[in-house]
Amino acid sequence: MNFLTLFAIYVAVVLMCMILVCRYSGHQDNPFNILFSCIAKVFAPVTPKWLQRFSQWSMHRLFHQRNNMFVYLHILLEAAVYGEFTYEIFGFCRELDTSLTSLSVPYILLAIKTFFFYLCIKKDPGTVTKKNVSSQLHIYPYDKRLFHPGISCPTCQLIKPARSKHCRVCNRCVQRFDHHCIWVNNCIGAHNTRYFLLYLLSLCAMAGDIALLTTDMLLHAVLRTGLLGASYMDEYGQRHPAGPLFVVQHLFLTFPRIVFMLGFLVFVFFLLAGYALFHFFLALVNQTSNEWFKNQGYTCQHCHPSLTANHLCSTPPSHSRRFYYSRGLLQNLGEIFFPRQPVWKKDT
């Protein structure tokens, strides 16, 4: 298999990952959703009905019903990365006199990440039930903008506490609902947001550390072979110094699995780092991603009685109204790691 073929496969895999992430990110207005819709309309007349039904059923099963498919995929990808790291990179780094302490960090991070991953899966996010709804109604005040008193969930038939939302995937109302994460097969809510943030942080650290060790190993491999000072002769008999493209081609052909793994780790690291920064920002301002995206298209139904529910207010919401639940950085973080407890009202 030549370099161009390997590189084409590599680019195709990375692009496919990007497309799938954007396609199923939950945002309907991204370019890939528009592209998929156009392609579906073009091929719909020539696609068998059974194939269309199967595709719709499988997508609904994967992304709109609870299942452990992505949990298993998460574990499989992790096992592949650590298997390659242990099988090839660990031994090579030992030959380079890399300390055992440095090489043990990825395994320590794996243990920490697995612990928080397990808690994200098993911890109840804060389900609203008939027994606790009366107490949860008093945890947060209604901002009367995104959350209004007296509104019932049409599915659960319960009064919705402020900042709660019904998850269609889990079929339950969740206190301080953030989002449903398919990778942990659970909602992220009041009681497991802290574990989710620590899970993201440890996952980023794990990917970044393995990527750094792998990059260091490949740099030493290049220096050992003397490729930076090498030269090659073209078809006209002229000698040229080996440039970066020649070095990259050599690494692709010599260490194809390691280079593929490194590219995957770099892609995952930057993707997760951006995602983690977004969620840490939300934690600092005491806002959920559900509230954030609602604020982006805030529907003002009080400007005029004749306005429809799809009317967007032309006046942007004030900072104080948008960050209604913010109580300062320390208190906001404290609320994440020490969630508010239900307030029981005494009967008078």
Catalytic residue positions? 181
Cβ density class 107-137: b for 16+ within 10 Å, e for less: eebbebbeebbebbbebebbbbeeebbeebb
Compute how many other C-beta atoms are within 10 angstroms of the C-beta atom of residue 274: 11
Mapped onto helix, strand or coil, the DSSP state of residue 160 is coil
φ, ψ (nearest 5 deg) of residue 167: -90, 120
Sign (positive/negative) of CA torsion 28, 32, 33, 34?
positive
Q: In 102-250, at which residue ranges do the beta strands (DSSP E only) sit? A: 165-167, 172-174, 179-181, 186-188, 231-233, 239-241
Sign (positive/negative) of CA torsion 217, 226, 230, 3?
negative
Please give the span between the terminal C-alpha atoms of the chain, in angstroms, as a whole number.
80
Using only C-alpha atoms, what is the Rg of the chain? 26
- Residue 230 tokens, joined: 């090498």
Who contacts 128 (Cβ-Cβ below 8 Å, separation ≥6)?
136, 156, 158, 160, 161, 164, 172, 173, 174, 175
- Residue 97 tokens, joined: 């006199």
- Residue 172 tokens, joined: 């339950």
